[in-house]
Amino acid sequence: MATIKYHSANRDTILSLAKSYDTPFTVKDLEEKLDAQNKHLGVSTIYRILDEYESIGLVKKSLGENNTANYRYIEPCEADNHCYLECISCHKIHHLDCKQINSLSKHLNKEHDFKLITSSLTIKGLCSNCRGLDEKQN
C-alpha cells in the first residue's frame, strides 16, 4: 500500500471523518459534518482528497443508489491483492487476509495465462450478524 504523500489539516480532517463512519458515506455526508464543525471545504477538494485516499487504499469507493459515490474507510493493509467481504444488509466491509487470494493469483497465471499484478475484489453477501437477523425473521 502506498503512503500519504503529505499531511494537511484538510486531509487529516477528511480521514478522521471517514474513520468515524460504520456505514458507507457520501461527500454530502462529509460536507454536513464539516459544516457542523464550522469547517468549510469545497466539494471538489473533498472529492480530490477522497480520490487520493482511494488510490492508496485508505478508502473504497462504490456506486450506490442513483449512481451516488459511496465511500468507506478501509484499515491499512500491506498486501498487493485485496479482497473485501461486504455485507449487503449492514454495508460493513471487512478486509479478507486469506492465503487463498495468492492461490487464486497462481491459478490465474497457470491455468489462464493471466498475470495478476494487483487486484481489489469485493465479495458481497451477508455477515454473520445480519444472517442471524435474517434467519430469525424467516
Q: Let me know if residue 3 belongs to a domain.
A: no
- CATH number where 51 lies: 1.10.10.10
Tell me which of 67 and 114 has the higher pLDDT. Answer: 114
Q: Let me know if residue 2 belongs to a domain.
A: no
Same domain, 90 and 120: yes
Per-residue model confidence as pLDDT tens digits over 51-63: 999 888 888 888 7
Same domain, 65 and 105: no
The cell for 18 is 471517514
Same domain, 62 and 95: no
Tell me which of 99 and 88 has the higher pLDDT. Answer: 88
CB 53 within 8 A of CB 14: yes
65 phi and psi angles, rounded to 5 deg: -60, 145
CA pair distance 60, 128, nearest whole angstrom: 22
Q: Let me know if residue 27 belongs to a domain.
A: yes
29: confidence class by pLDDT, cuts 50, 70, 90: very high
Same domain, 133 and 105: yes
Question: Beta strand 69-73 with 59-63: parallel, antiparallel or unpaired?
Answer: antiparallel
Residue showing cell 444472517: 131
Per-residue pLDDT, 80: 60
Give the domain range for residue 33.
9-73
- Domain boundary among the residues 42, 73, 104 is at 73
Q: Let me know if residue 107 belongs to a domain.
A: yes
Is residue 31 left, alpha or beta, with left meaning phi > 0 and alpha meaning psi from -120 to 50?
Answer: alpha
Percent of the chain past pLDDT 90, that is, above it, reads: 33
Q: How many domains does the chain have?
A: 2
The cell for 44 is 471538489
Q: What stretch of H or E contains 123?
A: strand 119-125
Per-residue pLDDT, 27: 95
